[in-house]
Structure 1
Amino acid sequence: MSLICPICQEPLSTSESGLACSNRHSFDRARQGYYNLLPVQHKNSRDPGDNAAMVEARRRFLGAGHYAPLAGRLAELAAERQPASWLDIGCGEGNYTAQLAQALPDARGYALDISREAVKRAARLAPQLTWMVASMARVPLADASCNLLASVFSPLDWAEAKRLLAPGGGLLRMGPTRTHLMELRQKLYDEVRDYDDQKHLELIPEGMHLAHSETLSFPLQLADAQARADLLAMTPHGWRASAERRAAVIAEDFEVTVAIRYDWIVKDQD
């Protein structure tokens, strides 16, 4: 086991009720099968991360298969790398994580999110993984313990990613392009802000490099009002736009562009 104590960074080993380190810091295993490795002093709020309503919206939307091609391609790219160990950073409700687990049946898998509500639901999808409530800025895994990191629509601490990766391992990042959900954004805002979907490449630290990049795009017909409401709830646009604009989006069906970029960013060999 590569888990380390989030308080003192000593190795964690299994105990009767969960995990413990040599300094007697202990962490219980919840009945849903996850470990809470987020100490109170590392929280910025009482319940950080997505709340139950946001998690349920994402679970319904992804469970209905609207983004199935995205998850499928992510799993294919991960399987091509054949990692011995992997971590999904910011796993959310676990839809993408579960598909990674299916694609990597012989690898040691870990998943974390700062939202307890998300991990509580996610842990049921793939009980063979080690699920954690933890901070992405203080991942409770040892240095160089992962061959693959998956980051799906998630913020990233690049220094932490580099620390976690073994030499030759890589970060599989999945994020939006500038045209992603363009039609939705046009309905919500008077002026749609453009952004550079390669800007994250400027943040790659020394000792890591971009080895592969590709995009996947397809039209998605949103004919169901619940799906439109769930899409709003699981994106930042759901709380940035006015209530009137949100209601108009939910009221009638429309087609939206899904456009995603995948990057494989490798840590250099020593």
Structure 2
Amino acid sequence: MLICPICQSALTEHENSVCCIFQHSFDRARQGYFNLLPVQHKKSRAPGDNLAMVQARRDFLSAGYYAPAAQRLATLMQERQPQRWLDIGCGEGYYSAHIAQAIPNSQGYALDISRDAVKQACKRDAKTTWLVASMARLPLASNSCQAITSIFSPIDWAEAERVLAPGGAVLRIGPHSDHLLELREKLYDKVYHYDDSKHLQHVPVNMQLIHSETLRFKLTLDEAQARENLLAMTPHGWRASTEKRQAVINHPLTTTVAIRYDWIEKMEDK
């Protein structure tokens, strides 16, 4: 299932490491993950979210504020029952753990480019194979997964298509155009509409949208720390001015959560 990020040969597990036929070897970290992101594939010394961002997301999600979104994800995956699945951009593992719980007899893989995030993710579920790796170079064999999930994460569609088995699908989860609308109205002088279906323009020709839905609910944050965590885990935390961010932190907030779910299936071979 796993392939070497250097030569793309199959990786075989040996005690506490994985190794390919060309003797490229990767040890399992103390926390339980494999680091399959070679230094030559990094764009910075410590890519991805830093520890402060990871902790903010962990605390916010663990408090259950996005629980309806995770529950809907778990239900959709449970309906499809993939034997092997991959969660890309898994962050600190909140959504991956919901998938693993929903389909306990499956084999799950989850990866993120941030080592700080994956270290935290290992605490969520011991059965899932946690990886530090890049979506642009997935360390998984071609045609090996029945489902790939992408939750608020970019997708390299060519890599997704390669890794998916025929009939497999990407469950892409992202913001609807009115996601966090009231929050954005407090942070910016002008709120711009964006096309929440734009990602479909990049779907490969042999993949097709088979189902789409939107989940909406109101989110009330009475605690300042929760509002601060929400800002820290979204791009709005660094896009908005310091003054407007602080104003949000200082006052209770009710905002709309609007999340779009798309099943995009790889067509069967003829």
Q: TM-score range by the shorter chain?
A: over 0.9
Q: 1:111-166, CA deviations, whole angstroms, 9 ceiling, x for partnerless residues? A: 00000000001011111011100001001000000000000000110000000100
Counterparts of 2:237 and 2:196, CA distance in 1: 21
Sequence identity (%): 65
Q: Look up the match of 2:112.
A: 113
Q: 1:149-186, CA deviations, whole angstroms, 9 ceiling, x for partnerless residues? A: 00000011000000010000100011000000001101
Counterparts of 2:113 and 2:225, CA distance in 1: 26
Paired letter, 1:118: A
Alignment of 1:186-201 (within 5 A): 186-201=185-200
Counterparts of 1:254 and 1:10, CA distance in 2: 51
Q: Look up the match of 2:238.
A: 239
TM-score, normalization: structure 1? 0.99
SS in 2 for 1:190: coil
Counterparts of 2:13 and 2:196, CA distance in 1: 42
Paired letter, 2:108: G
Paired letter, 1:100: I
Counterparts of 2:81 and 2:26, CA distance in 1: 31
Counterparts of 1:186 and 1:209, CA distance in 2: 34
Consecutive unaligned residues of structure 2, counting only runs of 5 or more, are none
TM-score, normalization: structure 2? 0.99
Q: Look up the match of 2:49.
A: 50
Counterparts of 1:182 and 1:232, CA distance in 2: 13
Q: Look up the match of 1:94.
A: 93
Counterparts of 2:129 and 2:15, CA distance in 1: 17
Q: Extract structure 1 runs of 4+ deviating beyond 3 A.
A: none
Paired letter, 1:209: Q
Q: Look up the match of 2:267.
A: 268
Paired letter, 1:67: Y
Paired letter, 1:228: R
**1:17: Cα distance to partner?**
3.4
What is the root-mean-square deviation of aligned Cα atoms in Å? 0.6
Counterparts of 2:103 and 2:202, CA distance in 1: 28
**1:254: Cα distance to partner?**
1.7
SS in 2 for 1:137: helix
Q: Look up the match of 1:259.
A: 258
Q: How many residues matched?
A: 269
Q: Look up the match of 1:174.
A: 173
Q: 1:46-100, CA deviations, whole angstroms, 9 ceiling, x for partnerless residues? A: 0000000000000000000000000000000001001110000110000000000
Consecutive unaligned residues of structure 1, counting only runs of 5 or more, are none
User: Retained in 1: the 8 A contact 2:227–2:253?
Assistant: no
Q: Look up the match of 1:67.
A: 66
**1:16: Cα distance to partner?**
3.5
Q: 1:180-236, CA deviations, whole angstroms, 9 ceiling, x for partnerless residues? A: 000110111001121000111111111000000000000011111000000000000
SS in 2 for 1:54: helix
Counterparts of 1:117 and 1:156, CA distance in 2: 21
Paired letter, 2:181: M
Paired letter, 1:220: L
Q: Look up the match of 1:230.
A: 229
Q: Look up the match of 1:249.
A: 248
Counterparts of 1:56 and 1:166, CA distance in 2: 35
Counterparts of 2:16 and 2:149, CA distance in 1: 29
Alignment of 1:211-226 (within 5 A): 211-226=210-225
Paired letter, 1:92: G
- The question of 1:153 aligning with 2:159 is answered no
> Which region of structure 1 is more displaced relative to structure 2, 214-223 or 9-18?
9-18
Q: Look up the match of 1:202.
A: 201
Paired letter, 1:128: K
Q: Look up the match of 1:139.
A: 138
Paired letter, 1:3: L
Alignment of 1:33-48 (within 5 A): 33-48=32-47
**1:28: Cα distance to partner?**
0.8
